[in-house]
Structure 1
Amino acid sequence: MRKNILITGASSGLGEGMAREFAKLGRNLALCARRTERLEELKTELTAAHPGIRVVIRALDVTNHEQVFEVFRAFQSELGTLDRIIINAGIGKGQPIGTGAFRVNRQTAETNFLAALAQCEAAVEIFRQQNAGHLVTISSMSALRGMRRNLTAYAATKAGLANLTEGIRADLLRTPIKVSTLYPGYIRSEMNEKVKNTPFIVDTATGCRALVKAMEKEKTEAYVPAWPWGPLGFLLKRLPLSLVTRMT
C-alpha cells in the first residue's frame, strides 16, 4: 500500500479533492500549493475527520524550480518515505496562437510543462534513492490531439507531460518504481467553473474518486472517468482533424 502521498496543487480543485479521497483511505498526506491558508483549512478538516492520519503542508510555487526540490526533500524527511507523488499543479489559461497573447500561453507552458519537469525530476530522484515509489502525472484528454482556440497551448503542454512521463516509464521499466499517466476528461473544478454546456462533465467529488481509483490500480495509463472517456479517447486518436475540431 502507498501510505505516504504527496500532492502538488493541493489547495483547490482536483488536488484538494484527491486529498479528501486518500484521507478516507487512511493515507498520510504531504500537501503543497501557493495558498497556505487553504492548505491549513484542508489539514484541519482532514485530521478532524480522520484522526489516524498525518497531514503535513508546505508552501510551494512550482515555477520556483529550486523550491520544488527543497519541498519534496523536506516532505520525505518529515514522513520518512514518499510512496506516491502526484504531479497535479497546473493552470488552464490559453488564447489562440498569433493573437497577441504570447505572455498568457508562455505562462501556461512554464507552469504545466517546465514546472512539471522539475517536479518529475525531484520525485524520481527520491524514488531512485528509495528504490521504490509511484509517480503519477495528471495530463488531460486534450493531450491526445492538437486542439484549437484557447486550448491549443494548454493541450500541447499536457501532451508534452504525457510524453515526458512515458520516457520516465521507459527508463524505469526494470525497477520497482511505477509510473502512471492519467488523462482526465471534464471534471468540474475551480479551473473550469465558468465553462458552460460542457458534455459528459462530472462533479469534483465524482471525478476525484475516479482518479484515485485509477491510481490505486497503478496502470501505466488511464482515461478518467473510464466511461465515456475510454471509448472517446480511442476515437480522438483516430478521427480526422476536421471532425476533432467539431467536438471541441
Structure 2
Amino acid sequence: MSTRRNILVTGAGAGLGEHMARGFAALGRNLALCARRTDRLERLRDDLLAAHPGITVAVRELDVNDHDAVFEVFRAFRSDLGGLDRVVVNAGLGKGQPIGTGRFDANLRTARTNFTAALAQCEAAGEIFRERNAGHLVVVSSMSAPRGLPRNLTACAASKAGVAALAEGIRAELLRTPIRVTTLFPGCIASETSGRSGRTPLMVSTEKGVRAVVRAIEAERAQAKVPAWPWVPPGFAMRRLPLSLVSRMS
C-alpha cells in the first residue's frame, strides 16, 4: 500500500480535525486544511510548519454547507498540493434538541451539516479519486450511530447513521477498484471543545484518542471504532440492548 502523502481534512480548525492534522503532520504528510475560521487554520499551519518544516500545509476557508464551494475548494487544494491522496470528511455538528420542542432550526442545521454536507464532500472527493483511479476516502461517523437516541442526540445520531450508510454504499461501489473507503466511529475524545460539562466516564484523553484515530486511518480499515478500548464493548451492547435501556444512556 503506497503512502497517502497529501491529505485533506475538513473541519480542521478545532477538535478532532485539528488533532488529526497534528497527527498526520508528525508522520510527514502534506496537509490541505479547511474550516470556516481561517484565523485558527493559519495559527495551526504556523504551528505545524514550525514543528515539521519539511511538509506543505495549505489552508482555505470553507463552510461545508456551501456545496458549490466544497467542489471549488477541493479542486483548489488538489492544485495546491499537486494531487490529493486522502480526504477526511470530518466537519460535523454534535448539537440538537428534542424533537417537537420548537427547535427544528437546530436539528435541521445538524442534519444538513452531518449528512448533506458530507454527501457533497464525498462527491467532490470521489470525482478526484475516480479521475486518477486512486485515493482513500475517510468518513467520520460516531459511536452514536448504531441506535436511535433520545433528547438532544436524536438528530445527531440519525444523521451519523445516515453518513455511515453513505460511506458503506460508496465502499460497495468501489470494492473492485484501488480506491479505499474507511468509516470511523469515534467515541468521546477529549478536546478543547468538550469542556468539563461534556466529559463522560468513557471519555479518553486527546492523545490516546487521536493516536487511535490516525492509526485506524493509516491502516485503511473498512470500519473502525476508535479508540477500540473502551468503545468496542459499548458499541456491541448498544446494538443489542432493549430500547428502554438505551433511552437512559444519553
- TM-score, structure 1 as length reference: 0.97
Query: Partner residue of 1:28?
Result: 30
Query: Partner residue of 2:116?
Result: 114
**Structure 1: stretches of 5+ with no match in the other structure:** none
- Quick check: 2:14–2:193 contact (8 Å CA) kept in 1? no
Q: What amino acid is aligned across from residue 235 of structure 1 in structure 2? A: A
Deviation at 1:194, TM superposition (A): 4.8
Once the two structures are superposed, residues 213-233 of structure 1 have per-residue CA deviations (whole angstroms, 9 ceiling, x without a partner) of 110111100000001111221
Distance 1:190 1:197 in 2: 11
- Quick check: 1:139–1:162 contact (8 Å CA) kept in 2? yes
Query: Partner residue of 2:247?
Result: 245
- TM-score, structure 2 as length reference: 0.97
Query: Partner residue of 1:14?
Result: 16
- Quick check: 1:13–1:204 contact (8 Å CA) kept in 2? no
Query: Partner residue of 1:87?
Result: 89
Deviation at 1:154, TM superposition (A): 0.5
SS in 1 for 2:248: helix
Query: Partner residue of 2:105?
Result: 103
Inter-CA distance 85–196: structure 2 relative to 1 (3 Å threshold): closer
The aligned runs of 1:178-197 (5 Å cut-off) are: 178-197=180-199
Query: Partner residue of 1:200?
Result: 202
Identity %: 67
Distance 2:154 2:239 in 1: 16
Query: Partner residue of 2:7?
Result: 5
Query: Partner residue of 2:79?
Result: 77
Residues matched between the structures, number: 248
Query: Partner residue of 1:213?
Result: 215
RMSD in angstroms over aligned alpha carbons?
1.0
The aligned runs of 1:103-182 (5 Å cut-off) are: 103-182=105-184
Q: What amino acid is aligned across from residue 149 of structure 2 in structure 1? A: M
- Quick check: 2:190–2:199 contact (8 Å CA) kept in 1? no
**Structure 2: stretches of 5+ with no match in the other structure:** none
Deviation at 1:111, TM superposition (A): 0.8
Q: What amino acid is aligned across from residue 58 of structure 2 in structure 1? A: V
Deviation at 1:24, TM superposition (A): 0.5
Of stretches 194-203 and 160-169 in structure 1, the one that deviates more from structure 2 is: 194-203
Deviation at 1:196, TM superposition (A): 4.3
Q: What amino acid is aligned across from residue 226 of structure 2 in structure 1? A: V
Once the two structures are superposed, residues 71-118 of structure 1 have per-residue CA deviations (whole angstroms, 9 ceiling, x without a partner) of 000111121111110000011210000000000100101111110000
- Quick check: 2:15–2:193 contact (8 Å CA) kept in 1? yes
Deviation at 1:58, TM superposition (A): 0.5
Distance 1:181 1:113 in 2: 14
Distance 1:191 1:44 in 2: 21
Distance 1:55 1:219 in 2: 26
Deviation at 1:197, TM superposition (A): 4.9
Q: What amino acid is aligned across from residue 245 of structure 2 in structure 1? A: L
Once the two structures are superposed, residues 97-152 of structure 1 have per-residue CA deviations (whole angstroms, 9 ceiling, x without a partner) of 00000001001011111100000000011000010000001100000100010000
